[in-house]
Each structure stands twice: as C-alpha cells, then as structure tokens.
Structure 1
Amino acid sequence: MLPLKQSVLWSSLTILALLPLGSCANTPWAAQLEQALSADPRLQASTVEASPEPTASPAGVELPTNFPAEIPRYPNAELVAVGGASSSEDVVVGANQSTETRWQTSDNAAQVRQFYQEKFQAEGWQLAADTAESSDQPIAATRDGLKVQIATVASGGSASTSDNSSGNTEFTIEYQFGEATVGSVPSPSEAETTADGELPQPGDPDFIGPVLPGEVASEPSASPAPSNGSFSDLSQAPAELQPYITDLAKLGAFSKNGTSSEFKPNAEISRREYARWLVTANNLIYANQPARKIRLAAATDQPAFQDMPASDPDFAVIQGLANAGVIPSPLTGDTSNTTFRPDAPLTREDMILWKVPVDTRQALPNAAIDTVQQAWGFQDSAKIDPKAMRAVLADHQNGDLSNIRRAFGYTTLFQPKKTVSRAEAAAVLWQFGTQGSHLSAKDALQANQPAAQPSTESATQSAQ
C-alpha cells in the first residue's frame, strides 16, 4: 500500500491528465466525466431548502384608537385581530355600532372569565344577570353608558368556554358606547347652519356652545331661562335645590340649549355639559378675580383626549380643564384616561372629583377606605374609585359647605357610580371655595346689582 501522500499525488496527476481529454466536445466519454465530477443535485436541493430567503413578517395589529381605557386588559394577552368598526382615528362610534377586538393568552378560559368577573365587580360595572348563572354565556357588563362583552372563542370561531387546539385561549372584547361619541366632527360645510347659510353664533337660537363666560354675562339671550331665572318645570326639582337652579340661571351659568324654557331637573347630565357648566359658573362667580378663573384652551393645543379633537365644540372647555389639571388625563400622568367620553352620563364620584380641586385650590389629601368610612359613615366607601376617594375626603373637611351635603343632603350611601341629575349638578356648582373663602351664585348676583341712586332729598343735603 502506498503512503497517503503518494496516493494523493497520483490521484491529482490522474485528474490533470484526463482534463485535456475531457475537453473534446460532445464525446460520450466527456459527458460521463462531467457527470462524475458534478455536484450531487440532491445536495443542491437540500441546501436551497435549508436556507430559504427571509420573508417579510405581517404588520402588527394595533389597538383601535377609541378603545376605552376603563376596560380591564388581561395580563400577558396579545391582540391578534380587530373587527367591527374601523380602527382609524376618524372612527365615529354611535349607539348602534360596536367594535370587536380579539386576544390570545396561554391561560385557560376559566382564568380569563374569573379575571373579568372579579375586575368588573371591583370597579363598579353592572354585570348581566345571566353572567353568573352560566359559564357558557359571555360576560356582559355596563358602566357609564359603555357596554362590554367578553367571550372566549374556540378554534372554529364560535363562542365557547374551551381552549383552542393550539393550547392557547382566544377571547373577544366587544365594546359599544351607549351615547354617540364622535371621533371626528363634520366640517363647517356639513354642519347645521342658520337660515342665511352662516354657522350659529353665540346668542343665536341654534347655538349650543361653548360660550365664553364674558359673552354669557353680556348677552342675556345666551341663557335658556327667562331673565328672572324661573323655568316652567322648576317645580319638578327637589324643593331644596330650586334656589340653586334659579340663582345660576339668573347669573347665566347654563349654556344655551335652543329656546326651551324647560330645565329638566331630574334628567341625567352628560360629562360634556357638566364640564361646560363647571367652567362657566366658576368664571362668572369669580368674574372680578381673574386669578381664580379657568382659562379656556386654544385651538392649537394638543388634545389631551383621543375623542376630544380641537374641532369639537366643547374642546376649549374640556381641554382647559385638562390643562389646569382639574380632570384626570395623560397631562396629569394618568395614562389610563386617554378618552373623555363626553356624551356619557356623569357619575357622582366624577362630579366630586372635578369640583373639589376647584374649591380647595390645593393638592387633595391621601385617603383610605377606612378614613372615608369613618369621616362620612358611608356604607359603600369601598366602591369609590381611589382617585375620587381623595376628593370625597377633602369635601368632608369643608364642613357645611360640602358639595355632597348640598346636593344629596344626609345620606349613609354615596353610590359613587350613580348618575347625577341636572338639579344635583346645579346644587354643586352654586358655590365655590372653602370655609373662610367662598363665593356663591347669590353673592355674584348681589355684586352685579347696580348701586342704588340717592334720593333727591339726600342729594340736596349732600350739596348743602
């Protein structure tokens, strides 16, 4: 046997000797030689399959811009699809429109269901009666005009409490606004105009606000009430609250709402309208104290809420409250409040949360459930939102000037999620300030009365 080096040498020389012969064109021997020296085609195929060209990954699914921050988000769940209404910023969500989002988690369906049942109950949502009766039914909950339905989805796409075949659980969150919420408002050409083709202006019968406080005070026609402040349905309001409505109407604190002389004292008030009343009443009562007025926002301000664009008629008011830090928003570091829901009904806890900071003009105190329960004696203190709880405690420290006492009288139940009537909202806004430094609508009316003219006799005596 030849040594290894000699074997390699002889093989190389043999190949070199055969190459010139293989160069003869189209000879059978050359074809056989070429085939023998060519690469294995199976090796080429396996190499191509093992190294595929990279392909572009599908675009990520984005959460709709109108997704309410109030809806609890399941931990470690991934958004996989969005259906129903469009997810664009120009979406218009009405009472008959809903948006469905589809999520996936490695937890089982029972864990998902338990999470949402506990979250909804703890955060004051109203659950449908059949939710607790059957685990096969979707979880249906409502809060402040917002309707939500949670349903787990099987691999075939039908609602089910079982997991899908991949080992993950898919579930849907479908939400629907009870009141029309506009993400984009019509352009001036699409908006309602007056008979002469012009947009309604302050003082016109069709104008719906907002109205600058100065314009309200200077133009009596901007108030729906007669000049004496009496409404045709004032007697329907609780007797204790009627004077508050009358004083605010005389002051011009209520925004124009057509030519109706009805106040509808027992009807719900929307978050939008209460915000408008809050700014207008405060600025009228403190008309002679500019430092205590709430500044309206400029149209160029960056909107704090996704559903309150600069084109909204109440943008200046609501954005002004956000700019001042009166209402929770991303500007105050509260990233969970990205929507304002202007047409949803106002709740008791939100009414107090917005009003008390304007009274105290200082940071709200820390509050715990036991502290609030001991101060007020409320049996449902645990149901109050932690942010609102601080305002409720500060309101108690205001003694007889408390907004809660003025609007609701004596009570051992605060009912924080209960909606507020227009008469109750008027009672709260009738007075601003704290003990030792406060003003009411009645005080503002007396300050605006012209000084009495001296009699002829008094004038003659003064001249002498």
Structure 2
Amino acid sequence: MQNNSNIFGANQSPQATPQPQPTVQLPADFPAEIPIYPNAQLQSVTPGAEGQFVGLWQSIDPSNFITSFYRSQFGANNWQIVQQPNDDTGTFEARRNNLLVRVTIQPKSVTSATPNQSQTLTELRIDYSPNGTAFASPIPSTDTTATPNPTTTPNTEVASNTNQPGSPDFIGPVLPNSNAAPAPTTTPTTAPATTTQTAQQFSDINKAPQQLQRYIQDLATLGVLTTSTNQVKENTNTNLFEPSKAITRREYARWLIAANNAMYASNPAKQIRTVSETAQPAFTDVPKTNPDFAYIQGLAEAGIIPSTLSGDSTEVLFRPDAPLTREQLLLWKLPLDTRSALPTANLEAVKQTWGFQDAGKIDSRALRAVLADYQNGEQSNIRRVFGFTTLFQPKRTVTRAEAAAALWYFGTQGDGISAADVLKGKT
C-alpha cells in the first residue's frame, strides 16, 4: 500500500517469513544423573576448558521454585553438596563420584511486547566437570536485562563478558536429566524443553483415586517417584505411573529414602545414608550386585526395616520383588515420622484406638507402628492413605498410588513437612 495507494492490497511489500530458530540440544554424553529443572528452556551449549561443559537455560518459574528443586534433588540422589545458596538465588556446587556440577540461579527482568510491562525469567547457568577438576573461578553475577525474545544464540551482553559461557574462567552448574514432558515456553520461537530423569510428568495420574492424585503429582515434581520395575525391564512407556499396580518392596525402599531425603534436603541429620558396595549384605537375596542394594542395605543399617542387624534373626531374606503390604508400609514409615522409639503396643490398645475389626490379624511387630500412627491425628498415614475404615486388612498389598500418599508427609501432627511445603520453598 505504501508503493501504490490507489490499489488496496496490490504491489505491497512482501512480508518476511519468520525463520525457525535452530534447536539447541545437549551433547550425547551429557551425564544422565545430573538433574535438569523440567520447566526450563535450553538456550545455549558451549564447551568449557579441560572437558568442562557450560549450558544456559531459562525458565518462567520463580527462582525459589528452582532453588527448592535442586536442594531436594541433590539431597535425595546421593550428591555431596559442597556449596548451596543461602536464599532463593545463588550457586549450588555438588559432587558425585568423579562428577563435579555447579548450578547458578538468577532472576532476569525481560521487557514484554506490551508497552510499559515486563516479566521475570529465571536464568540457570550450568557447568559440569566430568573428571572432577575444580572450576577456574566463581560464577559471575548475571546481567539483569534480556532481549524480549530469547533465542538459541547467546545475546551480545553475554558474549562480551569474558567470564561467560565459552570462557575458561566461566563456572556454571550442571542440571540433572528427567522424563519430564516439554515445558511451557515464554515465546513460540524457543526450542523444546530438555527432558530429564528426575522430575516426572506421568500421563495416567488421573487413573488414581481423586483424593490421592495431588500426592502423586507433588512427589513426581520432586523427582521422588520412579516407573515400575517391569516397565524398566520391558523398556515400555516410562511416562506411565500405573497408580493401581501393587508396589514391590524394593520400589518402596527406594521411594522411602528418596522422599525422606528430599523433605530434609537442608537437614543432613534427618537424612538416610545409602551405603557403598563394601558393606556386608544384611539379606542373602540382596547381594552387592543388586541395583537397589544401596537403598535396602541403607534402611537395614539405619534400623528402619527389620533385619539381622536389628536383632531379627529370622529376617535373612528381604524378598525385593514381593508386593508391599499395608502393615509393612507402616512398620517402615513410622520411625521416620516419630524419629523416636515406637510405643509399646498390644492388641487391645489398637482395638480401643482404631477400632479395627481385624486387629487380631496385624503382625505383633507392626502393632506398635499402627498405634503410633493413631497418635499422629489427622496426619496419620492410615487416614491419609486409606480414609475412614474399620478394617485395616494388614496383609493386603499396597498400590503405587497409596505408597505415594504415605510418603507425601513426614512427621507428626503439628511438627512435620509435606512435599507441598518443599515445593513452596519451605523447610
């Protein structure tokens, strides 16, 4: 119309077709054990000095969400935390075997397309050293401005700083991998979110009882839950949680440690330690070569599960692939709620408190856990998992959804912490 005002729509200047932005991908040898925040967009990848890697992510989530995610992930997955932020922004440095990782979390102000409006992004600078070589220098403070539509090419402000990705002096933490689905993006031109193996997004949570769905979702966000053992063996769809499927004893042992350590990521005194392969196996059917040996042996050495180490001479077999029962769920969980010796209990005391019609079927060792759970009031595991019931059915198998509900909260009534608290940044 500028060229010829007499003809509407004719001789117009052709409109440029937007070109798609190139997709940035992690290198093929990126360590799977490094957690990556699921709702973050990978912006750039740059090799660093001496085999070190530098990556830049951005997320629309506030920095306290991301900081809480890394506290829980490093705490729950056997990382040695060398450095962590004092508040909602700053730098994590963690070591696992020979892998050294640093994650820097900084908010960034971004100008919106709407005049006089802005939004906040959070920037993740990630660096890892595969051979454990120390980083050259501390992470520099990030710039507080950004272009309206971040692309996969680093902006000029980053490139002009000698301590930014690509420089030998740059130090940026590395994030873990998860099975999360592509995260929401700030603009339609950004690359798909990188998936990880820590925070999960399951496609069948809606098949769980409605009252239990929030518990599953919160723990999945924390990266506590895993797909079933059969799915892993058969290489089937790992986006399925299978909430109605019975959980095995090995899976519950793994979840129990992961959930406890995620809740108390900032309190090492309340964390359960996994063990090395040098430990003498407590169970004859869980040798050092068993993939869950570190978790099962760790629970046995902490006295959480009955074993010969705790004086139970008959407990020589763990039966890792056997389904977990309701009474076993409580017997293993309650010591981590009360943090003290379980009370003395007898059949009559359980009948008077819970009023279970089948109290006589409960194993004598589990009676103490059942009675202690009653004293937790509205925060009792039985009430949260099974709702109101006059039948405990102690030998009935536990579903994966029910196990998640039990692990959503640790502590007693008025003195505990939930997965929702951790996700909100509370400790």
What TM-score results when the alignment is normalised by the length of structure 2? 0.54
| Separation in 1, partners of 2:176, 2:239 | 14
Q: When the two structures are aligned, how many residues end up with a matched partner?
A: 245
Q: Please report how far the alpha carbon of residue 250 of structure 1 lies from its aligned counterpart in structure 2 after TM superposition.
A: 0.5
Is 2:421 the partner of 1:443?
yes
On the 8 A contact 1:329/1:335 being kept in 2, the answer is yes
CA distance, structure 2, for counterparts of residue 325 and residue 379 of structure 1: 30
> Residue 356 in 1 paired to residue 304 in 2?
no
Structure 1 residue runs without a partner (length 5+): 1-195, 205-210, 450-464
Off by >6 Å, runs of 4+ in structure 1: 224-228
Query: Which of the residues 253, 258, 261 maps onto 1:275?
Result: 253
Residue aligning to 1:423 = 401
Give the direction of change, closer, same or farther, for the CA distance of 1:225–1:421 in structure 2 (3 Å limit): farther
Deviation of 1:299 after TM superposition, in Å, equals 1.1
Query: Does 1:374 pair with 2:345?
Result: no
| AA partner of residue 209 (structure 2) | P
1:386 counterpart = 2:364: yes
Could you tell me which residue of structure 2 aligns to residue 231 of structure 1?
202
> SS of the residue aligned with 1:221?
coil
1:413 alignment partner in structure 2: 391
Is the contact between residue 213 and residue 280 of structure 1 (CA under 8 Å) also seen in structure 2? no
Match of 2:279 among 292, 301, 319: 301
1:127: which partner in 2?
Answer: none
Change (3 A) 1:304 1:240: same
The answer for the alignment partner of 1:143 in structure 2 is: none
Q: Which has the larger radius of gyration?
A: 1
CA distance in 1, matches of 2:395, 2:334: 17
Residue 77 of structure 2 corresponds to which residue in structure 1? 212
What aligned pairs does 1:286-365 form with structure 2 within 5 A after superposition?
286-365=264-343
Distance change in 2, residues 1:220/1:237 (3 Å): farther
Structure 1 residues 277 and 226: CA distance shift in structure 2, 3 A: farther
SS at match of 1:438: strand
The structural deviation recorded for 1:229 is: 5.4
CA distance in 2, matches of 1:432, 1:442: 11
Q: Deviations over 1:426-446 (max 9, x none)?
A: 000001011232001111111
SS of 1:432's equivalent in the other structure is strand
Q: Relative to 1, partners in 2 of residues 1:321 and 1:368: Cα closer, same or farther, differing over 3 Å?
A: same
Structure 1 residue 393: deviation in Å?
0.4
Q: Distance in 2 between matches of 1:407 and 1:379?
A: 18
Aligned counterparts, 1:75-114, within 5 A: none
CA deviation vs aligned residue, 1:277-299 (integer Å, no higher than 9, x gap): 00001101110111000000121
Q: Distance in 2 between matches of 1:223 and 1:326?
A: 30
Q: How does 1:54-73 map to 2 (within 5 A)?
A: none
1:245 matched to 2:216? The reply is yes
Distance 2:367 2:334 in 1: 11
State the distance in 2 between where 1:319 and 1:392 align. 24
**Aligned partner of 1:343: which letter?**
D
Alpha-carbon distance between aligned partners in 2 of 1:299 and 1:405, rounded to the nearest angstrom: 38
Partner of 2:225: 254
Residues 286 and 223 (structure 1), Cα distance of their counterparts in 2 relative to 1, 3 Å cut: farther
* 1:299/1:201 CA distance change after superposition, 3 Å: farther
SS in 2 for 1:447: coil
Contact 1:352–1:388 (CA under 8 A) maintained in structure 2: yes
Residues 287 and 293, structure 2, Cα contact 8 Å, conserved in 1: yes
Deviations 1:255-296 (A, max 9, x none): 365662111000000000000000001101110111000000
User: RMSD in angstroms over aligned alpha carbons?
Assistant: 2.6
1:327 deviation in Å? 0.2
Deviations along 1:300-351, one digit per CA (max 9) or x if unpaired, are 1111101011111111100000000000000110011100000000000000
Task: Choose from 211, 221, 234 the match for 2:177.
Answer: 221
Change over 3 Å in CA distance of 1:219–1:305 after alignment to 2: farther
Distance 1:295-1:226 versus aligned 2 partners, 3 A rule: farther
Q: Which amino acid aligns with 1:221?
A: N
TM-fit CA distance, 1:242: 0.2
Q: Does the C-alpha gap of structure 1 residues 223 and 368 become closer, same or farther in structure 2, counting only changes over 3 Å?
A: farther
The 8 Å contact of residues 178 and 200 in structure 2, kept in 1 or not, is answered as: no
Q: Is the 8 A contact 1:296 1:320 kept in 2?
A: yes
Q: What amino acid is the match of 2:77? A: L
Give the direction of change, closer, same or farther, for the CA distance of 1:225–1:267 in structure 2 (3 Å limit): farther
Q: 1-side partners of 2:180 and 2:323: how far apart?
A: 21
Secondary structure, counterpart of 2:212 in structure 1: helix
Rounded Cα–Cα distance in structure 2 between residues aligned with 1:438 and 1:399: 12
TM-score normalized by the length of structure 1: 0.50
- Give the counterpart letter for 1:237 in structure 2: A
Change (3 A) 1:278 1:239: same
Q: What's the offset of the Cα at 1:235?
A: 1.1
| 8 Å contact from structure 1 (residues 268, 421) kept in 2 | yes
Q: Secondary structure at the match of 2:424?
A: helix
For 2:225, the aligned partner's letter is F
Q: CA deviation at 1:391?
A: 0.3
Contact in 1 for aligned 2:346/2:367 (Cα 8 Å): yes
User: Once the two structures are aligned, what percentage of the paired residues are identical?
Assistant: 56
Q: What is the CA deviation profile of residues 47-67 of structure 1, one whole-angstrom value per residue up to 9, with x for unaligned ones?
A: xxxxxxxxxxxxxxxxxxxxx
Q: Can you list the C-alpha shifts for 1:54-92, whole angstroms capped at 9, x where unaligned? A: xxxxxxxxxxxxxxxxxxxxxxxxxxxxxxxxxxxxxxx
* AA aligned opposite 2:364: P
Aligned to 1:66: none
Secondary structure of 2:410's counterpart equals strand
